Amino acid sequence: MDRRDVLADAAIAVLARAGGRGLTHRAVDAAAGLAEGTSSYYFRTRSALLTACVERLAARTLAEMPSGTAAPASVEDLVAAGVATVGHWLEHDRERLLARWELALESTRRPELEAALRAAGARIRERVAATLQELGVADAARRADDLVACLDGLAFDQVAGAGRPGRHADGWRASVADLVRGFTGAG
């Protein structure tokens, strides 16, 4: 793995564990198990480090999204992919969610970070829109925006929102299925 990716992954872990205020070059170096000063060599400023987190999160997400011949071939396949994705985030990768939300909040005060977050999000939404278009869903770009926002909101509610206590996995899985079917017109 590239040194920049190692550092970005360590920064993501720091963001998830310590929040935006805890993200320092020194904390990233410690989390990566590298010599002090390594992260500041690759990412001179805190802004560069934050942007690297956004880019790494987007790259990881895009690498996990099915595309081309592996893309969902039916609405039910898309439902299964949506359930699997949100399930993975909730059950095995909460760190990614927490870091992304920290970055989103920080972006409200940093225009350069907002631009990076919007560009990364656009790449993900374009992939979802392409899948919806292949499935014959009308107004695929708008529905992709809404679907991604709803899935993200559902994940947020499970991790940090008012809905988190006691919601069983079957409940959020049914919600993902309802959302995908609703946005594709297969509801």
Asked if the model's pLDDT at residue 36 lies above 90, the reply is yes
Asked if the model's pLDDT at residue 70 lies above 90, the reply is no
Provide the number of structural domains found in the chain: 1
The pLDDT score that the predictor gives to residue 40 is 97
Q: Tell me whether residue 171 is in a domain.
A: yes
Check the CA dihedral 98-47-23-1 and report its sign: positive
Q: Smallest Cα–Cα separation from 72: which of 150, 137, 157, 152?
A: 137
> Tens digit of pLDDT for each residue in 136-163?
888 999 999 988 998 888 888 888 877 6
Q: Tell me whether residue 126 is in a domain.
A: yes
The domain of 145 spans: 56-184
Q: Tell me whether residue 136 is in a domain.
A: yes
Q: Tell me whether residue 50 is in a domain.
A: no
Q: Tell me whether residue 150 is in a domain.
A: yes
What ranges in the chain are assigned the alpha helix state H? 3-18, 25-32, 38-42, 46-64, 75-92, 94-107, 111-134, 140-159, 169-184
Q: Tell me whether residue 38 is in a domain.
A: no
The pLDDT score that the predictor gives to residue 154 is 84
Residues 148-184 as b/e (b if ≥16 CB within 10 A, e otherwise) read: bebbbebbbebeeeeeeeeeeeeebbebbbebbbebb
Asked if the model's pLDDT at residue 78 lies above 80, the reply is yes
The pLDDT score that the predictor gives to residue 166 is 60
The pLDDT score that the predictor gives to residue 187 is 62
Confidence band, pLDDT 50/70/90 cuts, at residue 167: low
CATH number of the structural domain spanning residue 114: 1.10.357.10
**Cα 112 from Cα 106, distance rounded (Å):** 10
Q: Tell me whether residue 130 is in a domain.
A: yes
Q: Tell me whether residue 100 is in a domain.
A: yes
Mean pLDDT of the chain, nearest integer: 90
